[in-house]
Amino acid sequence: MKKIWQKILFFTVLLGALLCVPVLAADKWETSHEYLEFSAVERLQSSYDLLYYPGKKLPINYLLNNSKELFGLGAYGESTTPTVQVTSSNTSVIKIRHAKNEANSSARETYTAVAKGAGTATVTIKYSVKYAGETHKITKKVKFKVQKYENPIAYFKVGSTTLKSSKFNKRHWIDLKYSKFKNKTVKVRCKLKSGWEFKWKYTYFDKKSNNYTTTDKSAVYYYEKWQGQPSEIANGGKVKIQGGSGFFLRVTAVSKKTGQEEEIFIRFK
C-alpha cells in the first residue's frame, strides 16, 4: 500500500511540473527583451497622419510631424535578432528608413516611416523572432495619410523687420542674423492667414494667486540655443534676443477646416 501511494505522489508531482512548464515559458516570454520589441509592433495604431515639407528641413532636433518611428531593436538590452521585412505600398508618399545607432534613439536599429510626398500609403511589417524554441510572428499593416505643408502666415514681424507671407511659401522656417538683434529687446507680432488659428494661448505665472493663468492672447515661444523647455510671451509682446546664435521663435498654427498643424520658426543665426 505504501508503494502505491508513493507512485501516486510521484505522478502527481510530475503532472504538476509538466503543467507548469508552458505557464513558466509564457511568463518568461512576456518579460523578455524580445517580447518588448515584438509588442512595440503590436501596439502600432492602424493609421497615422503626417506632413510633407518640400523645402529644406529646419536643421535642429525638433520632432516635426513628418515621420513616425515604427519600432526599434536593441532598446531594452541584448536580444535575439528578429527577421524583419518592412515595405511601403507607395514609396513616393512613404519611404522606410532603416538606420543603425541613430543619435536620438536608444535602439541599435530603427525602422521609420518618412513622408516623401502628399497622398496615402500602407506600410506592411512582417516580424518574426525565435525565443525559447518557439517562433513568434506578426504581420501589421499601418495606413499613412500625408498632407503637404501649407503656409499659414500672413506676416511675422520681429522688431522693425517684417517677414512677408511669401517668405514662408516653400519652407516653415526663416533665418535672421543674430548680430542684428543681439541683446536687443524687440516686439514680436505674428498674424495668420484667414482660416488659421493659433494652437496655444499665452500662459503666465501669477504671483498673487500663486498659480498659472491662461489668457486670451496667442503664445509665441522662444528658446536660447535650443536648450531645455521654451519660455513664452504673448503675441505682440517683447522678448530679449540673447544667448548667442541659435535663438529661436516658434508659433503653432492650426487649420480651422482640416485641423492640420504647422510649426513655424524664426532662427537667429
Helical axes 33-42 vs 2-30, angle rounded to 10°: 60
4-62 tens-digit pLDDT: 545 444 445 445 544 444 444 455 888 888 899 999 999 999 999 998 987 766 656 56
Q: How far apart are CA 114 and CA 119, in angstroms?
A: 13
113-134 tens-digit pLDDT: 999 999 999 999 999 999 989 9
Neighbours of 196 (CB within 10 A): 20
Residue 84 confidence (pLDDT) above 50: yes
- pLDDT for 65 equals 81
- pLDDT for 239 equals 97
Q: How far apart are CA 182 and CA 220, in angstroms?
A: 19
User: Which contacts (CB < 8 Å, 24+ apart) does range 98-103 have?
Assistant: none
pTM above 0.85, yes or no: no
- pLDDT for 16 equals 52
* Arithmetic mean of pLDDT, 132-155: 95
Beta strands at 153-158 and 161-164: parallel, antiparallel or unpaired: antiparallel
- pLDDT for 225 equals 78
- pLDDT for 167 equals 95
Q: C-alpha angle 129/130/135, rounded to 5°?
A: 90
- pLDDT for 31 equals 87
- pLDDT for 13 equals 44
223-248 tens-digit pLDDT: 987 766 889 999 999 999 999 998 99
Residue 74 confidence (pLDDT) above 90: no
- pLDDT for 62 equals 60
Nearest to 163 by CA among 154, 171, 172: 154
Residue 81 confidence (pLDDT) above 60: yes
- pLDDT for 27 equals 53
- pLDDT for 101 equals 75
Local structure of 119: helix, strand or coil: strand
Architecture of domain 45-148: Sandwich (2.60)
- pLDDT for 20 equals 47
Beta strands at 211-223 and 247-255: parallel, antiparallel or unpaired: antiparallel
Domains of the chain: which residue ranges? 45-148, 153-268
Average per-residue pLDDT in the chain? 87
Q: 24: part of which helix (H) or strand (E)?
A: helix 2-30
